[in-house]
Structure 1
Amino acid sequence: MRVRGISWVGVKTDSYQQMRDFFADTVGVAAEYERPDFAVFRFPNGDKLEVFGPGADDPAEQFAVEKVVASLLVDDIDAAVTELRQAGIELIGTKQGGGDGYFWQHFRAPDGKVFELVCDPRHP
């Protein structure tokens, strides 16, 4: 598997508005997408940060243990999922798609923490 970087970080917080404002106003990254209790920030290099408030619609497994989850950017998600499976890594749920060729797959690392693989054609 060839991982190109960390392309996404998700933050679950009870202080949604403060975190949203921090990234928008203090860090200076414009929100690319927003809905109640959820904001997506895309950095100039293509990396994404998503802030989830208490009422956000997020996958239950994503923040079941940790409040911060990172994704590993891969070119071929199907091949990467196969490699995880062959290595005995637990996959959580099924591969999901967000449109425009964007796919993700959650998995449990050996220490029990949840990560995800991401294929994002918009990421340089």
Structure 2
Amino acid sequence: MKVNRVIPDIKVDDLDTAREFYAGFLGLSDEEFNLGWVARFTSPETGASVQVLTEDETGQTNPVASVLVDDVDAAFAEAQEQGIEIVHPLTHEEWGVRRFFVRAPDGNVFNIVAHPR
């Protein structure tokens, strides 16, 4: 599996309040997207970014990070081969990504995701 980027996913109560802190104070002022339950804020100078979410739209739990991979199908097959717990099935989500969630041995949940090409 080739990992292209890892973005922290931070649980928040309210996206607008979160925007004030992450975009305002931290300077992650480019709002790459906002789906009403998840938004990504990115620094225009460095590209550093963070995602904030209230509750995952289709997953049963919130991930701690989103891991962007080049081939999500191959990553899913690798997770299955290694016996890694899948907590959200491989899904093509209505907002355009293809993803699944895995649980690490320490209990943390990761969103393994690829964007359409």
Q: Which amino acid aligns with 1:39?
A: A
Q: How many residues align?
A: 113
Q: CA deviation at 1:75?
A: 0.7
The alignment's TM-score, normalised by the length of structure 2, stands at 0.73
- Is 1:49 equivalent to 2:75 in the alignment? no
Q: CA deviation at 1:91?
A: 0.8
Which runs of 5 or more structure 1 residues have no equivalent in the other structure? none
Q: Residue 101 of structure 2 aligns with which residue?
A: 106
Query: What is the distance in 2 between the residues matched to 1:38 and 1:78?
Result: 23
Question: Is the partner of 2:64 in helix, strand or coil?
Answer: strand
Query: What is the distance in 1 between the residues matched to 2:78 and 2:67?
Result: 14
Q: Residue 25 of structure 2 aligns with which residue?
A: 26
Question: Is the partner of 2:57 in helix, strand or coil?
Answer: coil
After superposition, residues 83-94 of structure 1 pair within 5 angstroms as 83-94=78-89
Q: CA deviation at 1:77?
A: 0.5
Q: Which amino acid aligns with 1:103?
A: R
Query: What is the distance in 2 between the residues matched to 1:60 and 1:80?
Result: 18
Distance 1:84 1:46, change over 3 A: farther
Q: CA deviation at 1:33?
A: 3.2
After superposition, residues 9-88 of structure 1 pair within 5 angstroms as 9-14=8-13, 16-28=15-27, 29-34=29-34, 36=36, 38-44=38-44, 49-53=50-54, 56=55, 58-63=57-62, 69-88=64-83
Between the aligned residues of both structures, percent identity stands at 35
Which runs of 5 or more structure 2 residues have no equivalent in the other structure? none
Query: What is the distance in 1 between the residues matched to 2:100 and 2:115?
Result: 12
